[in-house]
Chain A
Amino acid sequence: DAGVIQSPRHEVTEMGQEVTLRCKPISGHDYLFWYRQTMMRGLELLIYFNNNVPIDDSGMPEDRFSAKMPNASFSTLKIQPSEPRDSAVYFCASSDRVNQPQHFGDGTRLSIL
């Protein structure tokens, strides 16, 4: 299996622009997670889905952030409008059951200027 695939790997954009991060989970995995990693706050869970349905979005920092999972093989995390403080590495992870290890993608390094 190719593992969790994220795109783009790097994104540099100007403040106020819309940013869309993409994730393809491992086939057959029912759970999909979006995380953000910063030096100050470490790794934080933003939102997770089960069978394409958002279960817990309490970690989404503001209304500027939104996430969708239109089908079992694709999810997006969108920031609109973006701000410099959104600069971080965003990870997507998937697992086949809640008590099984999560498999992480290589992340998207986002820089908002």
Chain B
Amino acid sequence: KQEVTQIPAALSVPEGENLVLNCSFTDSAIYNLQWFRQDPGKGLTSLLLIQSSQREQTSGRLNASLDKSSGRSTLYIAASQPGDSATYLCAVTEDSSYKLIFGSGTRLLVRP
């Protein structure tokens, strides 16, 4: 059974710092991996999607990498801002069923 783990569960950093969020999954037979952002009381916003054949994706200050063989992904946020404060969730789509399996998320606080 696929399990997705995110470390750390919470992170507090000063504004301007570069940071890395980690995601690991137990079964490498994934179709793709997505990083989402969730603001309080809101739904999820897709940030980056990496296909299983890709190694990384970039969008603005965000860079996500995927190492399928080791079951790991990282989300790198450059020059963090208070507006980046949110919960970040990692999710994998299973190869066989196309179901999205979520990690429990990392709560990020960027202090001004």
Contacts and interface: CB of A to CB of B under 8 A. Distances in A.
Interface of A is mostly: strand
B104 A42 contact: yes
A43 B102 contact: yes
A44 B99 CA distance: 10
Interface of B is mostly: strand
Interface size bucket, A side?
Answer: 20 to 34
Interface residues of B, number: 24
A43 B32 contact: no
B99 A4 contact: no
Contacts of A91: 43-44
Interface in A2-60: 4, 33, 42-45, 48, 55-56, 59
B106 to A, nearest CB: 12
Contacts of A103: 46
Interface of A: 4, 33, 42-45, 48, 55-56, 59, 91, 93, 98-107
